[in-house]
Amino acid sequence: MSVKELAKELYPEDLFGYAEKLTEGELKVLKHLRQEMETRIRPVLIDSYEKALLPREEILGAFAAAKIMTHPDLFVGREGSWKAGELYNAFLYLEMARFDPSVATFYTVHGGLGYNTILIGGSPEQIERFGTPVRNFEAQTCFALTEPDHGSDIAGGLATTAERKGDVWVLNGEKRWIGGAKTADFIPVFARDVESKKIKCFMVKKGSPGLSVENVEHKIALRIVNNGHITLKDVEVHEDDRLVNINGYGDVAKIFVRTRADVAYIAMGTAAGAFNAALRLTTTREQFGRKLGGFQLVQEKLARMQANVQAAIAYSARIAEIQESGTEEMLNSSLAKLHNSLRMRETVALAREVCGGNGITYETEVARFFTDAEAIYTYEGTHEINAMIVARELTGIGAFI
């Protein structure tokens, strides 16, 4: 099977053929991932979602089996790199999110936010020590930045403190909405140095004395992603476990430039998943003696969903090219997240609409995409925050304060 044929088989919603720019090896890894997710995760997905339980072993097992971060075919021509190509990364999120947005979100916390924190913030020794088990899925990580009272204003409002005492740092404070925190083997915790007032990052190991994590309960979205409320009370971290290249919010922003694009990709995949689920139902279910997909009003909505998905793929593919070139900036990531999230929100609503009552049941899948979209619309920079980043470039006027 040619690259073009394989790309078309995997992503028929990509009418403009951006997936054809992937290598045969990258497409085969993505196909293998799809098989692993269907085999390992699909049987427990609905039950896990209803019960708000994280099928951690099934998810990590699927990722590890497909070698989505380490397969040799991903590194042809980029040997020695710690990351695969960015266009592959975009379609990796498309593959995950069109299967389930919670699975994609779990990955972006681990392989996006957490992993990029290590790569950007760590010394070569720290990258090897923390990055290797993360990319092999031998250990789980996450990203502990936001707090109970500080989300969008975290740059100036971060309240968790770190006080150095010899070769040990003592951390105190709280973090909230930290995906995967309860099961993470080590947690990158961002805290403010009480002496310099600068934000630093510390790798806090699971089970450290003074560390407690409780799951945030009663969520309507991303239910299998266990978001944690972290409390740190005199938690000690050795200087060797402080990521040496994070010494202010500017360094944190470098992480967001890359990972905000990841969330734009997740929004793309969520829209694609909802569209495909709606397409399956409307081309199989009959009402008034004909397939739902044969009615003009339904066809208009399906066409609009397809257009939204294709626009999101186009945005994502171009952002991936920019990221790959090394010329990424927050403006581009924010614009992509803003656009793709808006189109996602419209698409999941249309998908739920054309599925009628079946659109609120998990069996048709649309319900999961519909509810999960609300969380994706908000995290990694709300719509308003990303809009202000873009508008600041347009007007030259910052509107944050």
Confidence band, pLDDT 50/70/90 cuts, at residue 381: confident
In a domain, 360, yes or no: yes
pLDDT at 339: 97
In sequence order, which residues have a C-beta less than 8 Å from that of residue 189 and are 6 or more positions away? Answer: 144, 160, 171, 175, 201, 202, 203, 204, 230, 232, 237
| Of the residues 230, 247, 264, the one at which a domain ends | 247
| Of the residues 247, 265, 294, the one at which a domain ends | 247
pLDDT at 183: 95
pTM of the predicted model as reported, rounded to 2 decimal places = 0.95
Max Cα-Cα span within the chain? 78
Comparison of pLDDT for 400 and 351, the residue scoring more: 351
Confidence band, pLDDT 50/70/90 cuts, at residue 328: confident
Collapsing DSSP states into helix, strand and coil, what is residue 14? Answer: coil
* Residues 164 and 101 placed together within one structural domain of the fold: no
In sequence order, which residues have a C-beta less than 8 Å from that of residue 68 and are 6 or more positions away? Answer: 29, 33, 92, 111
Confidence band, pLDDT 50/70/90 cuts, at residue 390: very high
Q: What gap in Å lies between CA 351 and CA 275, rounded to an integer?
A: 6
Confidence band, pLDDT 50/70/90 cuts, at residue 218: very high
Strands 168-179, 290-291: parallel, antiparallel or unpaired by DSSP? unpaired
Confidence band, pLDDT 50/70/90 cuts, at residue 399: confident
The residue type at 229: H
In a domain, 147, yes or no: no
In a domain, 290, yes or no: yes
pLDDT at 37: 98
Strands 211-215, 286-287: parallel, antiparallel or unpaired by DSSP? unpaired
What mean pLDDT do residues 256-269 have? 93
pLDDT at 151: 79
The crossing angle, in degrees rounded to 10, of helices 366-378 and 249-282 is: 160
Confidence band, pLDDT 50/70/90 cuts, at residue 64: very high
Say what percent of the chain tops pLDDT 90: 89
Rg (CA), the chain: 21
Could you tell me if 196 and 25 are in contact, meaning their C-beta atoms sit under 8 angstroms apart?
A: no
In a domain, 19, yes or no: yes
* Residues 230 and 271 placed together within one structural domain of the fold: no
Element housing 157 (H / E): helix 154-157
| Of the residues 221, 247, 273, the one at which a domain ends | 247
Average pLDDT, the chain: 95
User: What is the residue range of 7's domain?
Assistant: 3-135
Q: What is the total count of domains within the chain?
A: 3
* Residues 214 and 310 placed together within one structural domain of the fold: no
Could you tell me if 283 and 324 are in contact, meaning their C-beta atoms sit under 8 angstroms apart?
A: no
Collapsing DSSP states into helix, strand and coil, what is residue 29? Answer: helix
Question: Which CATH number is 220's domain given?
Answer: 2.40.110.10
pLDDT at 166: 96
What mean pLDDT do residues 375-394 have? 92
Element housing 385 (H / E): helix 383-395
pLDDT at 387: 94
Task: Provide the sign of the torsion angle of the four alpha carbons 174, 179, 180, 186, taken in this order.
Answer: negative
Confidence band, pLDDT 50/70/90 cuts, at residue 258: confident
In a domain, 149, yes or no: no
Tell me whether residue 219 is exposed, middle or buried, using C-beta atoms within 10 angstroms of its C-beta: 0 to 12, 13 to 18, 19 or more: middle
Could you tell me if 22 and 87 are in contact, meaning their C-beta atoms sit under 8 angstroms apart?
A: yes
Residue of 342, 190, 160, 355 lying closest to 276 (CA atoms): 355
pLDDT at 156: 84
Alpha helices in 237-382 (DSSP H): 249-282, 296-325, 330-354, 366-378
* Residues 122 and 193 placed together within one structural domain of the fold: no
Confidence band, pLDDT 50/70/90 cuts, at residue 152: confident
* Residues 321 and 371 placed together within one structural domain of the fold: yes
Lowest mean pLDDT among 47-56, 173-182, 358-367: 358-367
What mean pLDDT do residues 329-336 have? 91
Question: Which CATH number is 358's domain given?
Answer: 1.20.140.10
DSSP class of residue 347? H
Residue carrying the six token digits 């140095």: 193
* Residues 8 and 99 placed together within one structural domain of the fold: yes
Confidence band, pLDDT 50/70/90 cuts, at residue 100: very high
The distance of Cα 175 from the centroid of its chain, to the nearest Å, equals 19
In a domain, 143, yes or no: no
Could you tell me if 224 and 209 are in contact, meaning their C-beta atoms sit under 8 angstroms apart?
A: no
Confidence band, pLDDT 50/70/90 cuts, at residue 256: confident
* Residues 37 and 123 placed together within one structural domain of the fold: yes
Q: Is the confidence at residue 299, as pLDDT, over 90?
A: yes
Confidence band, pLDDT 50/70/90 cuts, at residue 362: confident
Confidence band, pLDDT 50/70/90 cuts, at residue 70: very high
pLDDT at 110: 97
Burial 227-257 (b: 16+ CB within 10 A, else e): bbbbbbeebbbeeebbbeebbebebbebbbb
Could you tell me if 310 and 14 are in contact, meaning their C-beta atoms sit under 8 angstroms apart?
A: yes
